[in-house]
Structure 1
Amino acid sequence: MGGMIGHESDLSISENYRRFAHLETAGRSPAYQELAEFVAENMTILQFLGRLAPAKRQPNLLFAAARYILEEPADPDTLTKLIDERGDDLAAIMSERRTQTNEAARCAILLPALALIPGPLALIEVGAAAGLTLLVDFYNYDYRGHVLNGLDADAPVLTCQPMGAVPVPGHVPEIGWRAGLDLNPLDPSNPTDVEWLSCLIWPGEEGRAERLSAATATARRHPVEIYRGDLLDDLAELAAKVPTGLTLVIYHTAVLAYVDEAKRCAFAALTRSLGAIWIANEAPGVVGDAAPPSPSRGFMLVRDGTELLAQSDPHGNWIEWLA
C-alpha cells in the first residue's frame, strides 16, 4: 500500500482524532481516549488513514474494525502491529463496513418526543442499522424512578437520567407501522452482523454489551423490515408504503453528520414534502440554527428542523429538556 498524504491532510485527520479523544471518549472510555491521542501523533497510522476515502477515516470505524480482527479492543501496540502486518485486511473491513452504533438506549431520548405526537404513529428511521431503535414501544424505561413498561416484559430496561421538565409519558406511544432505511442493513439474527455491532461498543462503558445482547434478542422476537437504500433517493418510495390513518414520523440519530450540507438541506425539504414530522437527534450544528445552551453537552433533539426539544447524551444516558 504505497503513497503519502500531504501535511494538510495529516493535520485534518490528526485533529479529528484529537477531538474524538477530548470531546467524545473523555470520561467514557479511557482506553479509546489514549488510543485516539496516540493515533493523532502517529505518522504511520495517519498515512494509513490518509489512503482511505475521507468518509472511512473515522475513529469509531478504525477502532471497531481493529477489534473485529483482533477479537478484543486495540491498544497502541496492537493497532500499530495490525496496520504493519495486516493493513490491507483492516482497510478492506473499513471500506466494507460503516459506523452503525445501533444503541438501543437512544430510545429513551426519542420516547418523550414521540409521545407528544398524536398517534397512532408510522415510524421510518433512516440509518436504522439493525432496527434496534425502531422498537421504542417494546423496551422498558426507568427515568430516575419513573418506570414505564413497554410491550415486551423481557426487553431491556433503558435507564436515563432526566433533567428539566422531561415530558415522560404514562405509556408507550401506539405504533401502527414501522420500517427502517439503511445503505447497509444489519440483521439481528445474523451472528456476523451482531458481532460488528458489538465491536462498535467502547471499552469501559459498562452495560452496553449486555444491553446490546438483550436488544438484539428483542429484535429477533419482533422483526422489523429494514430496506436497503439512500435517505434521499429511496425515502419517498418507502413513505408511500405507510398505511392511511397513521401519523408519519421520520427520525434519525447520528446520521446527517455523515452527509454534506446540500444533502442535509435536500433531506429536510423531502421530509416536509412528505408531510412527515421530523425528529433529529444529532450533534450540535448538524440540524437547525438553534445554539445549544451548553455546546459540549452531547446531541441536540430537534423537531422539524427548527424546534430544539432537548440536549441528550449520545448513547442515551441522560436527557435535558429545553422545550
Structure 2
Amino acid sequence: MTTADRYAGFAVREARGVSPVYERLSLAVSRDEEILGLLDTLPEAKRQPNLLFGVVRLLGGPVEEPDAFHDHVVEHWAAIAAEIRVRATQTNEAGRCALLLPLLAHLPQPLALLEVGTSGGLCLYPDRYSYRYGEHTIGGGEPVLDCELAGREPPVGIPHVVWRGGLDLNPLDVTDPADVAWLDALIWPEHAHRRARLRAAAAIAAADPPLLVRGDLVDDLPALAAQAPADATLVVFHTSVLYQVAAARRHTFTEVVRGLPGHWIASEAPDVLRYEGLPEPPDASFHNVLALDGTPLAWTKGHGQAMTWFA
C-alpha cells in the first residue's frame, strides 16, 4: 500500500461520518505530492494519518484547512519529523470500556485486569465509569460512556476489579501535563465529548494509579501477569494496538497470551487478528472484531461508540 492509498483509505473508511476535518485533510494529503514525499522519508510505521495529524496539533499547527496544513508542514517539517520519530499513536479512549463491559461483567469475579498497549491506563477502570446503551444506563460515576449496542441485551452490572496492570513500550503518566497534552492531540478535532471524557478519566486514574510497566508485549507479559493476585480472574486485553506490531511478533504474542491463565479479550482490525468465517460488518465503515479467548463475537467501532454482536 502506498502512502497516498493509506491516506485515501483512512479518509473513506475511518474518518468519513466521524470527523469531517480529518476526512477532508486525509484526502488532500493523499493528492499532495510534496507532503507524500516528505512522509516517505520516514519509516513506514511512522507515516500513518493519526500520527502526523496528532503531532501537527501537538505542535500548534492547523489541521482544519488543507492549504494551511500543507504550508505549515512544509515549513516546519524538520520539527514535525523529529517528533513523529519519537512518538507513537497512543489513543487512550476510555470509551472502549463500553466494548469490554459485556464480557468483563460475565467473567468469574473478581478480576485482575492487564492491558497490553495501555498508554496512560484509562481503560483499566471499567468499574469506575458509567455506561449508556441506548436507554439502558449502568453505574453512577463519571464519565458516562455512550455505546450503540445491537445483537444482544446490555450487560446488567459492573465488574469487580481488584488489580490493574498495564504494559507499554512507553507508558504515559496522566499526572504529567505533557503526556496528557499528547493524549489530547490524538483526539480528533470535532470530538469535544471525547476531550471532556479524557479529563474525567484521567482524574480517576491519577487518584488511584494503576501499575504501569515499560516493556515488550511478548518478553515482559508473563512476568507482569504473574504479579496479578492468584484469587482473581486474570483478563489480558488490548484494543487497537496490534496494528503497530509486526505480523510475526503478533503471532508470538498470541501464543504467549494463550498460555497464560485466565482470559484474553481482543478488539483489533480483522486484517490484524484474522478469524475464519466472519460475517459481513454492519456497514462499510471501519470496524474491529471483539473476541474472547480467540473466538470472535462482535463488530466494534474504534472509539467504543458502537458494537454489533453476531455470536
Fold-level similarity (TM above 0.5): yes
1:312/1:319 contact within 8 Å kept: yes
Corresponding position: 1:16 with 2:6: yes
Give 1:263's match in structure 2, choosing from 243, 249, 254: 249
Separation in 1 of the partners of 2:34 and 2:10?
A: 19
Report Cα offsets for 1:221-248 as digits up to 9, x if no partner. Answer: 2211211111011101111111111111
Partner in structure 2 of residue 310 of structure 1: 298
CA distance, structure 1, for counterparts of residue 171 and residue 62 of structure 2: 24
Q: How far did residue 74 of structure 1 move?
A: 5.0
Aligned pairs (5 A) from 1:1-323: 12-70=2-60, 73-149=63-139, 153=141, 155-166=142-153, 168-290=154-276, 291-294=278-281, 296-297=284-285, 298-305=287-294, 307-323=295-311
In the aligned structure 2, how far is the partner of 1:162 from the partner of 1:124? 25
Structure 1, unmatched stretches of 5+, are: 1-10
Give the distance between the partners of 2:175 and 2:61, measured in 1 at CA.
Answer: 20
Secondary structure at 1:119 match in 2: coil
Contact 1:63-1:74 at 8 Å conserved across structures: no
Structure 2 residue runs without a partner (length 5+): none
How far residue 206 of structure 1 moved from its aligned partner, in angstroms, is 4.4
Aligned-residue sequence identity (percent) comes to 44
Alignment partner of 1:193: what SS?
helix
Residues 71 and 50 of structure 1, relative CA distance in 2, 3 Å threshold: closer
Q: Tell me the distance in 2 between the aligned counterparts of 1:121 and 1:72.
A: 43
How many residues align? The count is 308
Decide which moves more: 255-264 or 106-115: 255-264
Q: What SS does structure 1 have at the residue aligned with 2:115?
A: strand
Q: Which amino acid aligns with 1:160?
A: C
Q: Distance in 1 between matches of 2:217 and 2:63?
A: 32
Q: Is the 8 A contact 2:61 2:69 kept in 1?
A: no
Q: Within 2, Cα distance between the matches of 1:281 and 1:205?
A: 22
Aligned-partner Cα distance in 2 for 1:128–1:197: 12
Separation in structure 2 between the aligned mates of residue 171 and residue 65 of structure 1, nearest angstrom: 39
AA matched with 2:291:
V
Letter in 2 for 1:301: L
CA distance in 2, matches of 1:257, 1:98: 12
Q: Greater CA deviation, 191-200 or 78-87? A: 78-87
Per-residue displacement from partner, 1:253-275 (whole Å, max 9, x unpaired)? 01111112211111111012112
Q: Which whole-Å CA distance do the structure 1 matches of 2:123 and 2:64 have between them? A: 28
CA contact (8 A) 1:67 1:74 kept: no
Give the Cα–Cα distance (whole angstroms) in 2 for the partners of residues 316 and 206 of structure 1: 15
Aligned-residue offset at 1:102: 0.6
Q: Within 1, Cα distance between the matches of 2:269 and 2:65?
A: 27
SS at match of 2:76: helix
Deviation at 1:72, TM superposition (A): 5.1
Would you say the 8 A contact 2:51–2:88 is kept in 1? yes
Partners of 1:296 and 1:251 in 2: CA distance: 26
Deviation of 1:276 after TM superposition, in Å, equals 3.3
CA deviation string 1:191-245 (max 9, x = no partner)? 1111111111112234111111111112112211211111011101111111111
Query: 1:128 touches 1:185 (CA, 8 Å); kept in 2?
Result: yes
TM-score, with structure 2 as normaliser = 0.95
Structure 2 distance, partners of 1:288, 1:258, is 15
8 Å CA contact retained: 1:66, 1:74: no
Q: Which amino acid aligns with 1:62?
A: L
